[in-house]
């Protein structure tokens, strides 16, 4: 077998990328090894890729990331269907199929770790240790490595070994008790928000660790969890509990601390308004024939205490007006307002496209498709212009880059993938 440990540090952008273009952005030249699956870890790694990092995704031979099988919907040919779930969190990555329980897989991962700047994993606590890649071993191989580790309920404590799935954590971390039409109607958020927040926190932690490494020369371990990520965004509902000793409960589409602020019925539809100051309240109330000085409406605290009366007064004022007419009138007087769009309306919206929130890619199976785009853009002052990553790669098919990456490592044809789509026999998936 070729020695894949010789010349252990290579320029991560120097190797052929087989359809994963080098990224512009502040992390250009950074190599990320993505061992994660499902959503939290892959979302973190995708955020780093959007910032210009080269991300090599390690997947189980045969089946790949769990989300390759999460559907419907699936798209593409019946003999090779692609899960839209997987497409949502794996753009700008390369895929290599590696059996980490084989000698070959261990060799490939060791070689990647020696070259990497960041490793992302979301196994249950202890799994990497059993594979021979404890934190101590990872930093022996590469003292500069930043390790991002994401779990469901945290890495320590009495419930650290619980499996963490988004909806379970939304419930356990209190978010579902705040979401829904009322206290007896707990609802999950319509996207896997615990996973997504954990991924965002993970990427944020990685960036801080990379910045610190510039001063210390040493990598750190970054840990976050779905639990900590949801508790970390309780915001004013958290201090309402810990300081005011109130227990917030779901109350539908109206703000618990500001009124009027929410979704209101009108002629033939609904509109949202956010009246967040006394000045706005006086402007709004006067324009719509409501007495702003009514004792029960005089201050925000009064309006919150008399929320149902406020809602009734606003909806009575809106009853003769349709949504578009109201939105135009509200804009004229400077009241923040909006509609509730379906997702097809969102992706067709000119403002969304202008902001780069839809990107076109060429998928190996599907051909040209559009994906939701990254949320952060970069600009150089003066004449430098925008430096946001402009060319994006489609989420890879399983082992799409196996041959190219193994050739770069000096180990082409030695095991789990040769770039042809043929992989070794799948062992028990890692969890």
**Token couple for 304:** 């919150």
**Token couple for 232:** 């970390």
Residue 50: helix, strand or coil by DSSP? helix
Q: Number of C-alpha atoms within 13 angstroms, CB side, residue 351?
A: 2
Report if residue 120 sits inside a domain: yes
Same domain, residue pair 323 and 373: no
Same domain, residue pair 374 and 289: no
Output DSSP code: residue 119.
Answer: E
Same domain, residue pair 110 and 42: yes
Report if residue 247 sits inside a domain: no
pLDDT of residue 236: 95
Residue 135: helix, strand or coil by DSSP? helix
Same domain, residue pair 165 and 102: yes
Same domain, residue pair 192 and 311: no
- Does 426 score more than 60 pLDDT? no
Task: For residue 116, give the nearest of 10, 36, 18 by alpha carbon.
Answer: 10
pLDDT of residue 382: 80
**Residue 88 φ then ψ, to 5°:** -75, -20
Q: CA angle, 169 as apex, 118 and 67 as ends, to 5°?
A: 55
Report if residue 56 sits inside a domain: yes
- The rounded distance, in Å, linking the Cα atoms of 323 and 354 is 24
Cα–Cα distances (Å) from 82 to 56, 60, 64, 210, in that order, read 20, 17, 12, 34
Task: For residue 150, give the nearest of 301, 35, 291 by alpha carbon.
Answer: 35
Report if residue 12 sits inside a domain: no
- Does 384 score more than 80 pLDDT? no
Torsion angle defined by CA atoms of residues 267, 180, 39 and 32, in that order, rounded to the nearest 10 degrees: 80
pLDDT in tens, 65-74: 999 999 999 9
Same domain, residue pair 164 and 308: no
- The rounded distance, in Å, linking the Cα atoms of 35 and 59 is 7
Q: Number of C-alpha atoms within 13 angstroms, CB side, residue 371?
A: 27
The DSSP secondary structure of 58-69, one letter per residue, reads EE-TTT-SGGGG
Same domain, residue pair 403 and 303: no
pLDDT in tens, 240-259: 999 999 999 999 999 999 99
- Does 22 score more than 70 pLDDT? no
Contact (Cβ atoms closer than 8 angstroms) between residue 290 and residue 314: yes
**Token couple for 11:** 């320029």
Residue 93: helix, strand or coil by DSSP? strand
Q: What is the largest CA-CA distance in the chain?
A: 84
Same domain, residue pair 296 and 163: no
- Residue 218: CB atoms within 10 A of its CB come to 13
Same domain, residue pair 208 and 309: no
Report if residue 426 sits inside a domain: no
User: Where residue 23 falls among pLDDT bands split at 50, 70, 90?
Assistant: low
> pTM of this prediction?
0.87
Report if residue 415 sits inside a domain: no
Report the domain count for the chain.
2
Same domain, residue pair 147 and 210: yes
- The rounded distance, in Å, linking the Cα atoms of 19 and 243 is 53
Same domain, residue pair 282 and 192: no
Report if residue 364 sits inside a domain: yes
Residue 67 neighbours by CB under 8 Å, 6+ apart: 37, 38, 39, 42, 83, 85, 86, 89
pLDDT of residue 10: 40
- The rounded distance, in Å, linking the Cα atoms of 218 and 117 is 11
pLDDT in tens, 256-315: 999 999 999 999 999 999 999 999 999 999 999 999 999 999 999 999 999 999 999 999
Same domain, residue pair 282 and 185: no
Contact (Cβ atoms closer than 8 angstroms) between residue 31 and residue 54: yes
Report if residue 268 sits inside a domain: no
Domain that holds residue 322: 276-335
pLDDT of residue 383: 73
Cα–Cα distances (Å) from 328 to 171, 334, 406, in that order, read 39, 10, 59
pLDDT in tens, 151-204: 999 999 999 989 889 999 999 999 999 999 999 999 999 999 999 999 999 999
Task: For residue 20, give the nearest of 391, 418, 406 by alpha carbon.
Answer: 391
Q: Which of 195, 302, 362, 418 is the catalytic position?
A: 195
Give the CATH number, domain containing residue 358: 3.40.50.10540
User: Where residue 385 falls among pLDDT bands split at 50, 70, 90?
Assistant: confident
Radius of gyration of the chain (CA): 25
Cα–Cα distances (Å) from 146 to 8, 136, 137, 286, in that order, read 17, 12, 13, 57
Q: Are strands 337-338 and 358-363 parallel, antiparallel or unpaired?
A: unpaired
Whether 291 sits among the annotated catalytic residues: the reply is no
- The rounded distance, in Å, linking the Cα atoms of 273 and 283 is 13
Average pLDDT over residues 87-105: 95
User: Where residue 25 falls among pLDDT bands split at 50, 70, 90?
Assistant: confident
């Amino acid at each position: 077998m070729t020695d894949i440990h010789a010349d252990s540090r290579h320029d991560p952008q120097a190797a052929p990328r087989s359809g994963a273009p080098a990224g512009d952005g502040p992390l250009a030249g950074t190599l990320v090894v993505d061992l994660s699956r499902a959503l939290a870890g892959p979302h973190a790694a995708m955020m780093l890729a959007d910032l210009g990092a080269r991300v090599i995704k390690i997947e189980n031979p045969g089946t790949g990331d769990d989300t390759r099988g999460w559907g419907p919907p699936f798209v593409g040919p019946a003999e090779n269907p692609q899960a839209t779930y997987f497409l949502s969190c794996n753009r700008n990555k390369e895929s290599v199929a590696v059996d980490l329980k084989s000698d070959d897989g261990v060799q490939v991962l060791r070689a990647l770790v020696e070259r990497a700047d960041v490793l992302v994993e979301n196994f249950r606590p202890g799994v990497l240790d059993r594979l021979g890649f404890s934190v101590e071993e990872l930093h022996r191989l590469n003292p500069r490595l930043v390790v991002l580790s994401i779990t469901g309920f945290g890495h320590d404590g009495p419930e650290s070994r619980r499996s963490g799935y988004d909806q379970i954590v939304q419930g356990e971390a209190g978010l579902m008790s705040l979401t829904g039409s009322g206290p007896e109607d707990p609802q999950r958020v319509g996207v896997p928000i615990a996973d997504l927040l954990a991924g965002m926190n993970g990427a944020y932690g990685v960036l801080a660790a990379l910045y610190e490494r510039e001063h210390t020369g040493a990598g750190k371990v970054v840990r976050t969890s779905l639990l900590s990520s949801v508790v970390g965004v309780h915001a004013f509902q958290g201090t309402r509990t810990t300081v005011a000793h109130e227990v917030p409960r779901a109350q539908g589409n109206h703000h618990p601390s500001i009124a009027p602020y929410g979704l209101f019925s009108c002629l033939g539809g609904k509109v949202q308004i956010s009246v967040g100051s006394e000045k706005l309240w006086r402007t709004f109330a006067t324009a719509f024939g409501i007495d702003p000085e009514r004792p029960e409406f005089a201050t925000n605290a009064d309006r919150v205490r008399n929320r149902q009366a406020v809602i009734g007064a606003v909806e009575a004022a809106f009853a003769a007006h349709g949504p578009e007419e109201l939105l135009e009138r509200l804009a004229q007087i400077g009241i923040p307002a909006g509609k509730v769009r379906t997702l097809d309306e969102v992706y067709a919206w000119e403002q969304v496209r202008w902001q780069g929130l839809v990107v076109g890619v060429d998928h190996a199976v599907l051909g040209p498709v559009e994906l939701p785009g990254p949320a952060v853009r970069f600009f150089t002052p003066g004449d430098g212009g925008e430096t946001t990553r402009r060319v994006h790669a489609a989420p890879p098919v399983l082992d799409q880059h196996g041959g190219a990456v193994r050739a770069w490592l000096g180990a082409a044809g030695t095991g789990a993938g040769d770039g042809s789509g043929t992989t070794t026999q799948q062992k028990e998936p890692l969890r």
